[in-house]
Every structure is written in structure tokens, then in C-alpha cells.
Amino acid sequence: MIYLDNSATTVPSEEVLAAFVEANRKYYANPASLHLAGKNAENLLERSRKQIASLLDAPECEIIFTSGGTEANNLAVIGLAYANHAKGSHIITTRIEHPSVLNAMVYLEKKGFEIDYLTCNKQGLISPLELKEKIRKNTILVSIMHVNNEIGTIQPIVEFAKIIKENSRAVFHSDAVQSYGRLPISLAGMGPDAITVSAHKINGLKGSGLLALRKGLVIHAVSFGGGQENGHRNGTVSVPNAAVFAKAMRLISSENKTNSYLNWRNLIINHIKKFDDVLILAEDAGAPHILAIAFPKIKGEIAVNFFQENGITLSTSSACSSKSGRASHVIEEVQLPEHFKQGVIRISFGKNNTEEEILEFNNVFNKFMKLLGRGKTNDME
């Protein structure tokens, strides 16, 4: 099987799996316990926290471990909004965020916060000018994702950070679930004040996420219990999950597959362009490891099933919305022509893929186009 659905989840690396088993054997104690076994577990937890902070180029930042990207985004949006409510109630986000951000915004609107939603162009790009127009002195939070999970658009978050800092006292949060390990992002210098990372997107384990905060940021808890994670996220912390999360981050930081991903993306794009009537989404603004394309007058599930039957696993535009049977909110926002909306598929690369697999994708793509009765634009090809 050729696996090209790495934006949905990645295959856990063997090093991570081995380390997880070993950590569970040796560090099974509750890190909040006062006995020696508990102290040993706590020491491993704090070493993991420091390693992650160092990887984010911000040794003094705060790392809050969560159950995944969704919880980390919820904590960021709701926790930072409440922590800064005394300064104002205005928040800015975009219409193409992950549902874990958008639904948190809906919750805050019901609690009296005022939310402005930035629009995007057909490439999925948010306008810095619109951000500048919408931001106010009483804006307390801006949340804009780094790389879109459905079509791969890269947002200019450094430029956004500059606008935010120059025009407000707002905290800038960025969902970096799809970008960490593939594109540069850190809490150092000009950039976000808070970022979300998910382990299972970087060959780690499901059930592990984190929210990283610049030193000095105040955040309110959104769950309540025994005061773990400095009172910000309550519940017994899984030390093995935290330790192997740090390991996964170290491994992906040292692999540097970005050039390979970019080459593979171009191989597919150049091949697709030989055919009539196939759209490439975010072609000029997309991340190296994500490529979304759309077929007219068919459902994406038809393409997904055909590729699966030919040994290739990929998905429709988002694993989170792939079973709904409707065009996702992102596809609606980029104004895809109506007869293409149902026919979007997403190809996403990971460290285990090879160029041979990409060439095989192109071969299967030929078969699919033949099945659809679609010819090449150049009959000599």
C-alpha cells in the first residue's frame, strides 16, 4: 500500500513506538506522587518539556501537554480569551480554520465576545490588509492557522505578527498542526505568541498534543481537577506520551524532507496539467507536503475508492469532514466552481514515501482519467 494521507495521520516511527513501550515500563508512576517513582516520572516529564521548548527556539516558553490538537486549540482560544477579557472582547480569526478553532469561537460569541472572521482569496490566502483593517486597540486575540489542513495554503504569519504587534496588544495564536516539522515556525522573534502542535501528524502517537506559550502569557483553564500542568490542563499527565512527543519532534526536526516533498508535489502538478478539466487548489500558495485537486461532476469518494483499489491511500479534502457528504467550509470559502466542489481529493506526503510511489500515483491517475473518459491536453503525451 502507498500511503498518501499523512495530513490525516502519520505512521508512528519505530523509534517512537520502542521508546513508548520502554517509558511505560520504567516511568509508569504518577508524576504528581511524592515517592521516588513519582519523582523519576516527573523528572522525565520536565526534561521532555524542556526539550520541546528548545526545539521551538524558546527555552523559557511554557509547554502545556494536551490530548491532541483539538484540545490544545480549544485551550488556546477559550483560555486566552478569558485571560485577556479585562482588556476587551474583540477577537479575530478566519473562516478557514480547523473546526476546533471555529467551534470554540462560536462558544465565545455566545458568551458575549465579538468575533471578526477574515475572508480568503481563491488560493486560500488571508489578506494582511484585511487583518490590519479589522484589528483594533481592544482586540485581545488573533487566531490564524499556519498551514491549512485541507488545501495546504501557507499563511504569512510573520507578516501577520508584525501587524498585530504594531496595532494592538492582542495575543497571536497559530494552529501549527500541519506545519510543524515541515516549515519553519517557532516562538522566537517575530511570530506567534502561542502555537498548537499534534504528535500524530509528525510520526508520533495519537492522544498527544501541546500548546506552547511565550514566557509570561497568562491563560485560564478550561477544565478543572487536581491542578496539573500548572493548573492550566487538569488530569494525570501521561509521561510516556510526553516523552515520545519530544522524541517525535526531535526526529522530524532532523529529517528535513521538505525538498523531497516539494519535488513530489511538482511531479504530480506537472503531470496533472497534461489533462483537461482538473483543478489544482492553492497551486502557488500551498505547502510542499499537501496537494489538493478537484475533478468536475463526480464525488471525491469515487476517486478515493479507485485509488484505494489500485493500492494508494488518500482522502477527500479533510478527514474531519470526509464522511459528511458535503463540501467543507474551506472548499466553500475558496469559491471553487459548483461542479468541482464535491470532487476534491487531498494528497499528503510523509517521511516514508518515495519518488517511486509518486510516479506510481501518476500512473494510477492516468487510469482514473481514462475511466472518466478524460484525455490529455497534448495528444502526443
Residue numbers annotated as active site: 320
Q: Which of 341, 181, 182 is nearest to 250 (CA)?
A: 181
> Residue 294 and residue 264: Cα distance in Å, rounded?
18
135-to-73, 129, 367 alpha-carbon distances in Å? 21, 10, 50
200-to-66, 134, 296 alpha-carbon distances in Å? 13, 35, 32
> Residue 5 and residue 293: Cα distance in Å, rounded?
14
**CB count, 10 Å around CB of 320?**
15
Element (H, E) at 363: helix 355-372
Cβ proximity of 81 and 113 under 8 Å: yes
115 backbone dihedrals φ, ψ, rounded to 5° = -110, 130
Which cell is 112 given? 458575549
267-to-6, 7, 356 alpha-carbon distances in Å? 18, 19, 11
> Residue 236 and residue 337: Cα distance in Å, rounded?
48
Q: Which of 278, 345, 266 is nearest to 313 (CA)?
A: 345
Residue 292's SS3 state is strand
